[in-house]
Structure 1
Amino acid sequence: MNTALKNLIAGAGHVPADRDYARRTLASMDLTSLGENDTDEMIIDLCRRAITPVGRVAAVCLYGRFVPLARRRLAGTGVKVATVCNFPHGGGDARKAVSEAKAQVAGGAEEVDVVLPYKRYMAGDTDRAVSLIEQVRSVCGETARLKVILETSQIRSLRMIEAASRDVILAGADFIKTSTGKVPGGAQLDVAAVMLSVIAEMQPKMNRPLGFKPSGGLKTVADAAGYLYLADQIMGRGWATPETFRFGASSLLDDVLRELGEAETDTELGDY
């Protein structure tokens, strides 16, 4: 990692929260509920929380069985409905992942967050790991945006994260995402800088917009501000919009609303 990037990362770690960062965070949030015991009532409440007095989130992210319900509740609001595939373990069964994604898209999912078979990738079986992403991409087609989760806290090596980011973009990823939130560790600023740098490198070669989604461990506007700062510095101010930048989080919404003077006291849904 070069000195300039290290300096950016150091600066990102000290960005203070303010109302502008809070508004940008709200607009780019994937408000998430991925609990094993989620119910229709919990998802209805999630959809309610997605529309706030100071603006709406970009999307809700939930298990595939709740996609039709969320689509009905959010119709006409502009909030996207996202789901997860091959989640959370990133298994290597491409046929199963493709079948799952196909059902999700048929059910109305507008975005699919699929987990790269990261253990297979780390073991050197990169072709088969990336092939799963290509096959899920073919199912999503032009109907659903594909966001690929690398599970970066498990890969750990920045060099391998860089290679995996490049590989999944070539395989059809619209977004590259750090984490599932289901294993220890989550988004980290140095990882974000590497992934954003790959996007900056790859974007001129692609015929579609590329995006970035940090996820895992983001609880405050100050947490989020560091990632927006990196995006502004690496990609240019104005790049990080809901079309190219998302936060995967649930409890982050509470701090955003506090920063904007709209405190909410709902029970946290978890950290995803």
Structure 2
Amino acid sequence: MKQMNQTDRQLAQQALGLLDLTSLSNDDDAERIVSLCQRALTPFGPVAAVCVFPRFVALARQTLDSLGAQEIRVATVVNFPYGGPNVASAVSETEAVLRAGANEVDLVYPYRSLLMGDTQTGLTMVAACRDLCVGRARLKVILETGELRDPQMIRQASQDAIAAGADFLKTSTGKVLVNATEQAVRIMLEAIAERGGLVGLKAAGGIRTLADARTYIELARSRFGAGWVDADHLRLGASGLLDELLAQLEWSTEPSGGR
């Protein structure tokens, strides 16, 4: 690994603070979630959030609080991963995770309904979950842009989710073949710009390297300016990115500049 320049170090530090450190594997257990929370409080500062399955929300919050990491938010997923059309089920899941202590709810938008020409289900679901989250948690709506594929469909889903009250738009569950892409993020950022830049964006799925992080940070910066690029407006959802960021930062702080 070559010596990191100051620009890359600053980027790695910034990406760390934007990270939703994620573990959404079917074999997750309590030990893994505790370890995830411990890793979230790094020598270079905390990540923005940990993202876990609903059954681990209370454990994650308790673990972070015991570490003195109250500033790290606990995110979880609902209507996940398939984005079904059952509004009542999504609302019930949302209420349950809020009671468990979730600070952020990542709701999978019913994207198949949209593909079949049904815009109302998505509007209704997002609005109903938003009503529960007001004053309690941030609502991030997962559009599953890799499945929507068509730019106009991505635009429609973005506009509808924003209109229904989403706090953030999120690209992907990470559970499909195509996840975050530059094209999708550009479309989502444009939809956000149409509403004054008041909604955030989370790129997720397939983000593994500093170069990946740079792509999405620079897209956001070029659209809204450097001041917009903070954890209230931009997140990077990833499970493997933290290791690379820490390796880069640790390398750059060695007195010799390398091994």
Normalised TM-score (structure 2): 0.91
Instruction: Report the 3-state secondary structure (helix = DSSP H, G, I; strand = E; otherwise coil) of the residue aligned with 1:246.
Output: strand
Amino acid at match of 1:82: A
Shift of 1:138: 1.2
Shift of 1:241: 0.1
1:247 matched to which residue of 2?
Answer: 236
2:52 matched to which residue of 1?
Answer: 62
Count of matched residue positions in the alignment of Structure 1 and Structure 2: 243
Task: Give the conservation status (yes or no) of the 8 Å contact 2:171–2:180.
Answer: yes
Deviations 1:117-169 (A, max 9, x none): 00001111111122111111111121010000000000001111111101101
| 1:224 correspondence with 2:213 | yes
2:97 matched to which residue of 1?
Answer: 104
Shift of 1:244: 0.7
Shift of 1:203: 2.2
2:27 matched to which residue of 1?
Answer: 37
- Mapped partners of 2:61, 2:30: distance in 1: 13
Higher relative contact order (CA 8 A, sep 6+): 1
Task: Give the conservation status (yes or no) of the 8 Å contact 2:122–2:160.
Answer: no
Amino acid at match of 1:27: G
Instruction: Report the 3-state secondary structure (helix = DSSP H, G, I; strand = E; otherwise coil) of the residue aligned with 2:226.
Output: coil
Task: Give the conservation status (yes or no) of the 8 Å contact 2:207–2:213.
Answer: yes
Q: Which runs of 5+ in 1 are unaligned?
A: 1-16, 264-272
4+ long deviations beyond 4 Å: none
Q: Which runs of 5+ in 2 are unaligned?
A: 1-6, 253-259
Give the counterpart of 1:260 among 235, 249, 255: 249
Give the counterpart of 1:129 among 110, 122, 130: 122
Task: Give the conservation status (yes or no) of the 8 Å contact 2:77–2:107.
Answer: yes
Task: Give the conservation status (yes or no) of the 8 Å contact 1:116–1:130.
Answer: no
Cα RMSD (Å): 1.3
Amino acid at match of 2:8: D
Normalised TM-score (structure 1): 0.87
- Mapped partners of 1:225, 1:197: distance in 2: 19
Deviations 1:176-198 (A, max 9, x none): 00000011111101111111111
Give the counterpart of 1:161 among 154, 159, 173: 154
Give the counterpart of 2:36 among 46, 62, 69: 46
